[in-house]
Structure 1
Amino acid sequence: MFNNIPPITRNIIIINVIVYLVSNFLFTGLYDSLVAYYPFSPLFRSWQVISHMFMHASFAEPGGLMHILFNMFTLFSFGPILEQTLGEKKYLILYFLSGLGSFFLFNLWNFIEVQQLVSSLESLGVNISEIYSRVSINIAEYSTFHAPNQEAQGLSDQLYTTLRSPMLGASGAIFGVVAAFATLYPDSKIMMMFIPIPIKVKYLMPIVIVVSVYLGISGNGGGIAHLAHVGGALVGWILARIWKKHLYRFN
């Protein structure tokens, strides 16, 4: 059955599984190098813009295995149809541009939050360079600062955590795939967990996006990069809208 999956989708799944196994059981130090940190964090490296798309929550973390299983199952469910519809080249472009859109929107919001934190901390007399220097050491225990008051301490810890918290996973790219599917096949019905009836994707996708925007902006995301999902979905929707006009021109 696996051999019947179109090549691009199949190879993306294989690469994700290989990276997961290698980074969890052979070279665990790869995690810090391949996940994506905030671009102005001392821990950021240029290749993380791409490599984070193939990283998933650690096997040792609660729900770590489910992270990659859910992502790969979703890609397996929607990817083959789109790959056959768009062709390998456009499908590959869709996948990686959605992943990049995910990274961009998530870190655009991070940038706004970091600038607000820095401004507040500077007004309180906190040495920002001390926080950045401790981030470069990359040891969680170093997050206690000599802040002038409790407010400054809390903001310092918040900035430190933001600079050290990575994004990882194929979810942003996969959200782009799902959004493109919803754009090209809006009347298709799918079943969702905890929802016992099939729902057309043209109704379900906007609900998912609105909820993701709310959770991402409100900070109630529970450790999930919801705005990354929105960024990927936005790119997928835009590309599908562009390609849809010419998709059947020669048929």
Structure 2
Amino acid sequence: MFPRLTPAVQALLIANVAVFLLQFFIADQALEYFKLWPVSALASSAGAGFQPWQLLTAGFMHDGVMHLAFNMLAIWMFGSALEERWGYRHFMTFFLICVVGSNLCQLLVSSAIAAWDGPIIRTVGASGGVYGVLLGFAMVYPDRRMVLFPFPAEIPARTLVTIYGAIALFYGITGTDAGVAHFAHLGGMLFGWLVIRYWRGQPPFRKGPRKPKPPKPPKLRVVK
């Protein structure tokens, strides 16, 4: 059964699809300034150096239809449940923090690689935010049964997310799956974990704000 399409998730889907379509009509050179580039003199000399806004804008750009489709499907499947639990404002805040946090982690890694005379790596995609949403889903609904893709086996959400996180960490450290921003995935999970711990007032935070509450249903007015 597919989840209901909630307002914040719908807005994210529209924004990502709209940006993806723009990539076909705008010169690729102009879009380079919105992708995430490492802090590197070589990248800057090529006319595509790092700019602060890239931490956000890169999270709304994708390299292909399948890249976009998988990310949007995950946002819909898992993000809708979180938005129904937290409400529009808290979910959107959570997602955007995960996007920026994931790109910040990727920036540190890609800049270090460039500093050691490695390749100049530019990053695009909402995958960091998606991994943050997956982590949030597992923390809110830890015992929800999920399918371990591509195997037809159901396991608790917390176990599934742990497996995905371990895979991302393995590939990130070993570099055996080049072309994928594994440290962005891990960064999204890290910042998602920190945000939820902050909301709950749990370590490493002493006391956080109120937990996100479900949005109140609209009041009904009786007309006589």
TM-score range (shorter-chain normalised) is: 0.7 to 0.9
The equivalent residue for 1:51 is 57
CA contact (8 A) 2:95 2:132 kept: yes
Q: CA deviation at 1:45?
A: 2.6
1:204 aligns with 2:168: no
Q: CA deviation at 1:39?
A: 3.0
State how 1:67-146 maps to structure 2 within 5 Å.
67-117=67-117
Rounded to whole Å, the distance in 2 between the matches of 1:242 and 1:231 is 16
Distance 1:116 1:240, change over 3 A: same
Q: TM-score, normalised by structure 1?
A: 0.72
Matched residue SS, 2:155:
strand
Rounded to whole Å, the distance in 2 between the matches of 1:39 and 1:116 is 12
The equivalent residue for 2:125 is 169
Distance 1:244 1:198, change over 3 A: farther
The equivalent residue for 1:232 is 188
The equivalent residue for 1:33 is 33
Q: Deviating runs (4+, > 4 A) in structure 1?
A: none
CA contact (8 A) 2:148 2:160 kept: no
**1:48 maps to amino acid:** Q
Q: CA deviation at 1:109?
A: 1.9
Report Cα offsets for 1:71-116 as digits up to 9, x if no partner.
0000010111111211222211111110111111112222333333
Report Cα offsets for 1:158-182 as digits up to 9, x if no partner.
x3x32xx310001101111110110
CA contact (8 A) 1:184 1:240 kept: no
Rounded to whole Å, the distance in 2 between the matches of 1:202 and 1:239 is 17
Which structure has the larger Rg?
1
Q: CA deviation at 1:205?
A: 1.1
Q: CA deviation at 1:248?
A: 7.9
The match for 2:144 among 188, 191, 205 is: 188
**2:11 maps to amino acid:** N
Rounded to whole Å, the distance in 2 between the matches of 1:28 and 1:230 is 31
The equivalent residue for 2:211 is 247
The equivalent residue for 2:206 is none
Identical columns (%): 29
Q: CA deviation at 1:23?
A: 0.8
Report Cα offsets for 1:109-133 as digits up to 9, x if no partner.
223333333xxxxxxxxxxxxxxxx
Matched residue SS, 1:196:
coil
- Structure 1: tracts of 5 or more residues without a match: 58-63, 118-158
Q: CA deviation at 1:32?
A: 1.4
Q: CA deviation at 1:33?
A: 2.4
Rounded to whole Å, the distance in 2 between the matches of 1:114 and 1:228 is 16
Report Cα offsets for 1:14-60 as digits up to 9, x if no partner.
01001101112x11424312211113331123321211011000xxx
Rounded to whole Å, the distance in 1 between the matches of 2:102 and 2:70 is 18
Matched residue SS, 1:36:
coil
Specify which structure has the higher proportion of helix. 1
Q: TM-score, normalised by structure 2?
A: 0.81
RMSD of Structure 2 on Structure 1 (CA): 2.3
Matched residue SS, 2:106:
helix
CA contact (8 A) 1:56 1:169 kept: yes
**1:70 maps to amino acid:** F
Q: CA deviation at 1:227?
A: 0.7
Structure with greater contact order relative to length (CA < 8 Å, sep ≥ 6): 1
